[in-house]
């Protein structure tokens, strides 16, 4: 085992309903039940457990990849012991956890919790290009006088890796000042309207092209990128999103051996009847089968 159990709570956790030994696993999943900076609808702290519960109650075969999730080697580390009220310390613990997972040659899967937690992964994995599927840019320099807010997370990630190291897909919610900054700095993005108009093939070839020259890729999925009709249980729902199948078909076209980890964040299960957590767990199944190691 890595030395992370210090940060983990000790409840049994079985994503997918089963668990491999850590030593023989390829994937190491952990939950981060933190929603301390949420500005509209709090509750993503309940995301990891809701996603786990859903994952234990769906079938494991992927028609998309022709692979059974159950045959993959995944270890569920449980939830991180977060410090409510201390985003900085919680980010540090996420970073330590991701660093430990990567140092033992496993693929980290972080289940949020709020999007700010992706900064922990960015601090731990250097030299990555981040692909952010999100309705929002999250590029404010500060939000409500706070630089460590979910609304600023990608700005902070850029400070770690560089402005050309984050690519946005599915964005549709911004405001004048942020969009000006995006354009002035030549940030690469496709809006949800672009994705819907272009479809899977041309959207994924755009993304593949944008990732040319990147040695490592990290994928962060804010569930609000999906249309609220399919994913209503999120902190900041935003109309006119994309269909879950478009996102997954795109990922299937783009994911290759450069992908070193991914996260799914912002599921706030109290705002629906379980459909967003169910979708998130299905997405984790599908993405893992795309990343299957031989």
User: Where on the chain is the footprint of Mn ion (CB under 5 A)?
Assistant: 115, 134-136, 138, 222, 224
Contact 246, 254 (CB under 8 A): no
Cβ distance to Mn ion smaller for residue 93 or 115: 115
Query: What DSSP letter does each residue of 233-279 carry, written as one string?
Result: -BSS--SS-B-HHHHHHHHHHH--TTEEEEEEE-B-GGGSSSHHHHH
Report the 10 Å Cβ neighbour count for 59: 10
CA pair distance 115, 93, nearest whole angstrom: 15
CB of 50 to Mn ion, least distance (A): 18
Cβ distance to Mn ion smaller for residue 124 or 135: 135
CB of 184 to Mn ion, least distance (A): 21
CB of 150 to Mn ion, least distance (A): 6
Contact 43, 59 (CB under 8 A): no
CB of 265 to Mn ion, least distance (A): 7
CB of 218 to Mn ion, least distance (A): 14
Cβ distance to Mn ion smaller for residue 76 or 222: 222
Cβ distance to Mn ion smaller for residue 28 or 280: 280
Tokens 């210090």 belong to residue: 6
- Measured in residues, the chain has a length of 294
Cβ distance to Mn ion smaller for residue 99 or 263: 263
CB of 138 to Mn ion, least distance (A): 4
Backbone phi, psi, residue 166, to 5°? -130, 130
How far is the CA of 63 from the CAs of 23, 201, 226, in angstroms? Answer: 29, 19, 21
Helices (H), 106-226: 118-124, 153-161, 176-184, 192-210
Q: Largest alpha-carbon pair distance within the chain?
A: 50
Cβ distance to Mn ion smaller for residue 38 or 65: 38
Cβ distance to Mn ion smaller for residue 168 or 285: 168
CB of 241 to Mn ion, least distance (A): 10
């Amino acid at each position: 085992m890595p030395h992370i159990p210090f940060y983990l709570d000790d409840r049994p956790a079985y994503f997918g309903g089963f668990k491999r030994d850590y030593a023989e696993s390829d994937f190491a999943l952990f939950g981060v039940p933190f929603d301390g900076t949420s500005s509209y609808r709090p509750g993503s702290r309940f995301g990891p457990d809701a996603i786990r519960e859903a994952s234990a109650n769906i079938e494991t075969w992927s028609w998309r990849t022709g692979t059974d999730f159950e045959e993959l080697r995944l270890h569920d580390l449980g939830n991180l012991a977060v410090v409510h009220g201390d985003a900085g310390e919680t980010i540090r613990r996420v970073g330590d956890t991701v660093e430990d997972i990567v140092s033992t040659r496993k693929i980290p899967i972080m289940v949020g919790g709020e999007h700010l937690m992706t900064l922990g992964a960015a601090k731990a994995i250097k030299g990555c290009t981040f692909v952010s599927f999100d309705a929002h840019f999250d590029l404010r320099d500060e939000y409500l006088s706070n630089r460590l807010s979910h609304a600023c997370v990608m700005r902070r990630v850029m400070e770690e890796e560089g402005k050309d190291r984050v690519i946005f897909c599915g964005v549709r919610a911004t405001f004048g000042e942020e969009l000006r900054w995006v354009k002035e700095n030549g940030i690469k993005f496709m809006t949800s309207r672009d994705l819907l108009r272009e479809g899977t093939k041309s959207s994924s070839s755009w993304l593949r092209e944008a990732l040319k020259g990147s040695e490592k890729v990290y994928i962060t999925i804010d569930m609000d990128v999906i249309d609220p009709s399919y994913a209503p249980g999120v902190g900041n729902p935003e109309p006119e999103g994309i269909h879950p199948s478009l996102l997954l078909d795109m990922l299937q076209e783009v994911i290759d051996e450069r992908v070193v980890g991914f996260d799914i964040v912002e599921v706030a299960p109290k705002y629906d009847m379980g459909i967003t957590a169910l979708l998130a767990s299905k997405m984790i199944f599908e993405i893992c089968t795309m990343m299957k190691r031989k």
